[in-house]
Amino acid sequence: MNHTAIIEKIKKLLALANSSNEFEAALAASHAQRLLSTHNLGMADIEASHKPDKADKIEMGAAKTLSKWVRNLSAGVCDAFDCQAIHNTTKGVLTFIGVGSDAQVAAYTFTYLDRTVRKLCSAYMKRYGSDATTGRNRELRRQSYYLGAVSTITARLGEQKVCTPVTPGALVPLKEALIKQTIDEMGKMRTMHNRRSYIHSDAYSKGQNDGRQVGIHRGVEQAGSARKGLLHDHSPTDQ
């Protein structure tokens, strides 16, 4: 299967991961994650012999103001797939920049994880949100849950990268230079700084625990079969 065919296959599988059929969605997500890992392993040898000469951009619609947990998630995904993300606050566009298939894989992974965490949080708030006495406390609980879940997910992505590097060591400086060149060509960008967050400790801990449910492929087992650890959707409604 050539490079283009792999990407198209992953796109179709991730589309199926939105299915209302819980089993079909879980199976599609698992297969997509297995292809992502296998593809990155296979691409390492290809990229080593065919050096890239440019970085690619994948744009997606986004809110003009991103919550801290969304910024943390995009940063974690970018780190895992050797990319960078630029948020245009004027147009409401989030752009993933990477070399080869990295940007596209990162964009789809981010979309999948964003959707998954929102569903988990929706289920959590239905169960515990009524305990809050004011709207402000409910929002603190919600954002704390998001931050906890994302902290676990990004840590797991980092562990996966250690086991299954996306980029051969010799190509890391080249990729970084191409990404920087593309960012420079986009013009001056405003740097976003995370402010200190107040945390609801119970909600944060629950988010951390639930983040372990999310299906993140951890590499190929010694026997050659992919590990499976899928999220079972708790709610069909996104928050």
C-alpha distance from residue 216 to each of 83, 92, 117, 173, 229 (Å): 18, 28, 13, 27, 7
pLDDT given at position 230: 28
pLDDT of residue 135: 80
Cα separation values, 75 from 42, 96, 160, 191, 228, Å: 24, 10, 15, 13, 24
Is residue 13 within 8 Å of residue 29, measured between CB atoms? yes
pLDDT in the model for residue 3: 61
Residues of the chain with pLDDT under 70: 1-4, 7-8, 10-11, 14, 18-20, 22, 39-52, 132-133, 168, 170, 188-195, 217-239
> In whole angstroms, what is the distance from residue 213 CA to residue 188 CA?
39
Which parts of 131-171 fold into alpha helices (H)? 135-163
CA dist., res. 103 & res. 182, Å (int): 12
Q: What is the pLDDT of residue 227?
A: 26
Query: What local confidence, expressed as pLDDT, does residue 207 receive?
Result: 96
The pLDDT assigned to 161 comes to: 85
CA dihedral 64, 68, 71, 74 (to 10 degrees): -130
CA proximity to 73, closest of 113, 37, 101, 105: 113
Query: What was the pLDDT predicted at 29?
Result: 74
Q: What is the Cα–Cα distance from 172 to 183, expressed in whole angstroms?
A: 17
Residues whose CB falls within 8 Å of the CB of residue 176, separated by 6 or more in sequence, listed in order? none
77 three-class SS: helix
93-98 and 84-88 strand pairing: antiparallel
